[in-house]
A = this chain, B = another copy of it.
Amino acid sequence: MPTLEDVARRAGVSTATVSKVLSNTPYFSERTRAKVLQAVKEIGYVPNLAARALSSGKTQIIAFVFPYVYDALFADPFVLLILEGIESECHQRGYNLLLSTPRIVSGQPDEHYLQLVQSGYIDGFIALDSVPSASVVEPVFAHGIPSVTIGYHPNTFFVRADDCAGGFQAMDHVLKLGHRRIGVISVNESLHFSISQRLAGLRAAAEAYGLDFDTLPMAEGDFSTASGAACAAELLSRHPDLTALVCLNDRMAIGALQQLHVRAIRVPDQMTVIGYDDIPTAAIIVPPLTTVNQQAFRQGQEAARMLLDILNGRSPQPITLPVELVVRGSSAPVPAPGLTRKGG
């Protein structure tokens, strides 16, 4: 591999000149600049990034990290969309993207990750950090390394979706359709910070309609499709008169749909089902799922922008992105009183 020195020799200048020309420093004649660039082209010189990193202290690598916990985050299309948003931004700005999925051991990210944080290899971190039991951004923050959090663990810079508004919109939609016997498929609040936000939104909407939220039947799943089906089964046997199920993520909503199909309860005629996330599958299943889109791609993109801004010395503002209810085929007005379940 040719080095800076080879280029310098060929162009008949010093290595400093080559280095500065390549990084576009002013005060060089057109002639010199051309000579250098010519030499670079001729010998096919490409800078050695490790050397550049050691010397300049900047690696041009940022990391996207999320803890390896619960029902594999990897299985979550939501994460993929965020990743895509980050990638698109990095690609545009010439940054490289490293992926790390620290395992959590005794409440701490694993050793290898902690080393990575301090290794100087990473200019900045974007962390998907909403699992209350452990923070992956905390060690980064503690070492003063630039970081942006997507989620609710404390950080100066963050990107969040407005989960409270999302919860509100979902519940409001259901109430507007006339439903009052509403089951909620939630997740234990200890699993994800956003859950309490979404629940707060549901509650606010219910109260706006004079409905006591605490009287609504609720079951707790774990985000997975299977748990959604189980929760639906549980709610339906305890409360056969429900006309709507509000689920705090799409995969559980899809599980609920399965369970309803098994029980031959038609959606949306006999039961309205609402999801949350708007994963790609939501649009292509039958019936297509009414859900809350939280702009995952945009979350990733904004987080990357924010981080790169920080790296370039700016001081961006944290962002809370709006969400949007996407009404599809799984929600409908409450069935007419005459329409009983069996007869439907």
Residues of A whose CB lies within 8 Å of any CB of B are 1, 44, 46-51, 53-54, 59, 61, 72, 74-75, 77, 80-81, 83-84, 87, 91, 94, 96-101, 103, 112, 114-116, 118-121, 225, 251, 254-255, 257-258, 261, 280-281, 284-286
Contacts and interface: CB of A to CB of B under 8 A. Distances in A.
B50 A120 contact: yes
Nearest to A229: B284
Contact of A258 (B54, B98, B286): B286
Query: Do most interface residues of chain A lie in helix, strand or loop, or is the interface mixed?
Result: helix
B120 A99 contact: no
B280 A257 contact: no
21 contacts: A1-B120, A48-B120, A49-B119, A50-B53, A50-B54, A50-B59, A50-B120, A50-B121, A51-B54, A53-B53, A74-B84, A75-B80, A75-B280, A91-B112, A96-B98, A96-B121, A99-B99, A225-B284, A255-B284, A285-B285, A286-B286
B99 A74 contact: no
A1 to B, nearest CB: 7
A119 B47 contact: yes
B98 A99 contact: yes
Contacts of A255: 284
Contacts of A72: 84
A285 B261 CA distance: 10
Nearest to A103: B91
A126 to B, nearest CB: 13
Given A281-B281, A284-B255, A46 B118 contact: yes
Nearest to A80: B80
B284 A254 contact: yes
A258 B280 contact: no
Contacts of A96: 98, 100, 116, 121
A118 to B, nearest CB: 4
A80 B74 contact: yes
A69 B251 CA distance: 28
Given A46-B114, A258-B284, A281-B285, 7 more contacts: A44-B118, A49-B119, A75-B80, A80-B80, A97-B100, A98-B98, A281-B281
A101 to B, nearest CB: 6
Contacts of A50: 50, 53-54, 59, 120-121
Contact of A97 (B98, B225, B285): B98
Contact of A48 (B54, B61, B112): B54
A46 B254 contact: no
Contacts of A75: 80, 84, 280
A48 B119 contact: yes
Contacts of A87: 74, 99, 101
A121 B59 CA distance: 10
Contact of A118 (B1, B119, B261): B1
